[in-house]
Structure 1
Amino acid sequence: MPSYMHFGEADLLRIRFAISPLWETQDAVRTLKRPARHGYHLPWLRRIRQAAEGLDLTALWLLMPWRGHSPDFLGPPPIGPAASFEEEIAAVRGADPEAAREDLARSLSCTPGAVETPQGRALLDDPGSAVHTLADTMEQAWHALVEPEWPRLRALLEADVAFHTRRLAQGGIEGLFADLHPRLRWADGTLTLATPFDHVRVLDGQGLMLMPSVFCWPDVVTGFEPPWQPTLAYPARGIGALWAGPAGPAPQALAHLLGDRRAAVLLALDEPAGTSTLAQLLDLAPSSVSAHLSVLRDAGLLTSRRAGHQVLYERTPLGIALAVSQPGAP
């Protein structure tokens, strides 16, 4: 059963990307309860185990059915391309209680028996209080689970946006959706997502917000109902190496040519990355990484461009040729 998003001419001009710390927090909470999502995130799960044990997430989990609707007001589409968590959680706290009650009831109905539980009844009996309690819990989850890792996560998400923005510029809509996710198909002005339920959305000039996510893997999430902005969340590129420890030594020949650390920086750039991401990956001081990046760029091995809060570096054709010619290099 598919989900369809029908584009008009105006919608083709209104495809935008955004990053949402609130969405990542919601899906981090969801990931704790879904072992199928754990594979890429085991190092993170080990790090946050103690912090997670100090949280009471039962109300949030009750609103995260295995199949069906999660409240849109609790994890809405991003309010801007680079909104802070504080801005996003303020919008959650401002949700209309009556609209929130309908959203909560729809979500609870997707889990058999959830409406009749004491917690389910309490959410529906006082939706105004429920909005604030759920927002408080989400904020606690942000501080405990996501905020300590946010620089690393944001760098990966911004690199994904930069990559797919280029794909859109170079290959148009077909090029963008060709490799965004295997369950997506673009044809005749319609984006089709293979899902276990039927859903149809005519974008009607609102365009589409595309949102990379670290924690939604392996899922693609859509289906926000009016008046919410049509949004599609998809797994970001590069999550397989997100929690990797320091990289091993560079091949000897490349290290002799560039020096150990500069060679390591060049080899680490399989995907565009910023200074802080490389510093964490290589276990080096950011100032040291920044100096090596400048030298490699001046030598014609890297290019750089600004993306959101950071500068992303990637290999030039010469840098690629040099890196892949090394034994054992990717």
Structure 2
Amino acid sequence: MVMVPGGGLISYELAGMDVADVRFAVSPVNELTLSLRTFRDPGRYPVHLPWLRRTERVRAGLDLPLLHALTNASMWSPDYLTPRPYAPLTRIDDELAAIARVPLERMLDDLRALHPGELPEPLRGDPAAVRERITTALRAYWHACFAPWWPRMRTVLQADIIHRAQVISAHGLAAMFAGLSERVSLDGGVVRVRLTTNAGYRRSTGGEGLTLVPTLFGRGVTAPISPEEPPLIMYGTRGAGTLWQTETHRSPAALTGLLGATRAGLLTTLATPASSTELAGRLGVTTSAVNQHLRALRDAGLLTSARHGRSVLYLRSELGDALVAGGSAPDPEDRAP
């Protein structure tokens, strides 16, 4: 059962303190499942209110009683709907296909743990039919409310992963884990995660590794409460607050005069990695126009780029940093004599 952050202790013993034992992954179905919390209590997730407003009309045509039943008042969700991703960038079709094949007994165990009393009406009846209804409802929810925005969401998640990798390179694994949340720590080769319930266990990651999954729909850290589940930590991603905003960056006047307003805005924005799709959404311009400007800035040595999965992420180079910093200085002609 995935839960909200808080008091039990889960300990993962890293096999040999090897960086290779820790990996990051993005999971579309995890995001899909965790987003159902926003239905139950939108006020707890103010960042996503613009998205909830934009999708209100299409949500009305979904199987809402079933989707509501997949969380409870404690914001828990069934473990089998938040599976460990086995590739850095999993595909929603593959994950939904796996959910459609989950053993019926496991599904029922998870649903009964979610609702210890009587199951809500949408979850009752023939288990095979319930499993099919859940899969169908999630697939429809994905196409209506996630698919149009998934490239934007995925870019924010990928940018977080790049940041964590940079922290590991510069400061080590312990600093990276500490940066996930105040509830996560690494000491003596053991990763400790503090949660809300009294559930707790200690297990090795040997042979399976520890997967870290950033999420846009988490306010802290979550992990499976069963030691039988593969080692997994989900944590709130950086940059979630910018997800639904159209940003207007005020670039220094000198920089705007040199590069033009759009390129100066892009260079100012790219203090953290982003893709052309994400930048287009944030700045309110077309992706094709953004790509032209990004290529020009990269060719001039002001940006670096790196492929991450199917996306190309851009980041200011050292020269770009210097130019932005220099452009922030006041113009000598504007100074008082």
State the AA in 1 paired with 2:216. Answer: V
Q: CA deviation digits over 1:62-103, x for unaligned, max 9?
A: 332233853222221213221211000000000111222222
Structure 1 partner of 2:271: 270
Residue 130 (structure 1) shift: 1.4
* 2:300 match: 299
| Equivalent in the alignment of 1:2 | 8
1:238 touches 1:271 (CA, 8 Å); kept in 2?
A: no
Give the secondary-structure state (helix, strand or coil) at the position aligned to 1:179: helix
* Partner residue in 2 for 1:309: 310
Measured after TM superposition, the shift of residue 224 of structure 1 is 5.3
What's the counterpart of residue 141 of structure 1?
141
Q: Contact conserved, 2:249 with 2:269, CA < 8 A, in 1? A: no
Instruction: State the Cα distance separating 1:179 from its structure 2 match.
Output: 1.0
Cα 1:52/1:203, change in 2 over 3 Å: farther
Tell whether 2:286 aligns with 1:280: no
1:125-148: CA deviation from partner (whole Å, max 9, x where unpaired):
522221111111111111111111
Structure 1 pair 250/74, CA: closer, same or farther in 2 (3 Å)?
A: same
Aligned ranges 1:63-102 → 2 under 5 Å: 63-67=70-74, 70-102=77-109
- Does the residue aligned with 1:103 lie in a helix, a strand or coil? helix
Q: CA shift at 1:156, angstroms?
A: 0.9
Which residue identity is paired with 2:87?
G
Query: Any gaps of 5 or more consecutive residues in structure 1?
Result: none
Deviates more, 1:64-73 or 1:293-302: 64-73
Find the aligned partners of 1:68 and 1:272 in 2 and give their Cα distance.
Answer: 31
Alignment root-mean-square deviation, CA:
2.2
Between 1:237-246 and 1:224-233, the stretch displaced more is 224-233
Residue equivalent to 2:194: 194
Contact 1:51-1:144 at 8 Å conserved across structures? yes
How far off is 1:117 after superposition? 4.7
Alignment of 1:13-32 (within 5 A): 13-32=20-39
What does the per-residue CA deviation read over 1:112-168, in whole Å, with 9 as the maximum and x for residues that have no partner? x4x165445x1xx52222111111111111111111100101111111111112222
Q: Offset at 1:209?
A: 0.5
Task: Name the aligned partner's letter for residue 290 of structure 1.
Answer: N
Measure the CA separation in 1 of the matches of 2:9 and 2:241.
27
Contact 1:246/1:282, CA 8 A, preserved across alignment: yes
Instruction: Determine if contact 1:17/1:211 at 8 Å carries over to the other structure.
Output: yes
Distance 1:70 1:248, change over 3 A: closer
Matching residue within 195, 214, 225 for 1:212? 214
Cα distance, 1:11 vs structure 2: 6.4
Give the distance between the partners of 2:15 and 2:35, measured in 1 at CA.
Answer: 36
Q: Does residue 256 of structure 1 match 2:263?
A: no
Report the equivalent of 1:156: 156
Determine the C-alpha separation between the residues in 2 that align with 1:3 and 1:94: 31
How far apart, in 1, do the equivalents of 2:226 and 2:77 lie?
A: 11
5+ long unaligned stretches in structure 2: 1-6, 330-337
Aligned residue pair count: 320
Structure 2: how far apart are the matches of 1:68 and 1:34? 9
Alignment of 1:160-171 (within 5 A): 160-171=160-171
Structure 1 counterpart of 2:181: 181
Partner amino acid, structure 1, of 2:153: L
Q: CA deviation at 1:15?
A: 0.8
1:103 aligned onto 2:127? no
Alignment partners' CA distance in 1, 2:295 and 2:244: 25
Distance change >3 Å, CA 52–CA 324, structure 1 → 2: farther
TM-score using structure 2 length: 0.87
Deviation (angstroms), 1:58? 2.5
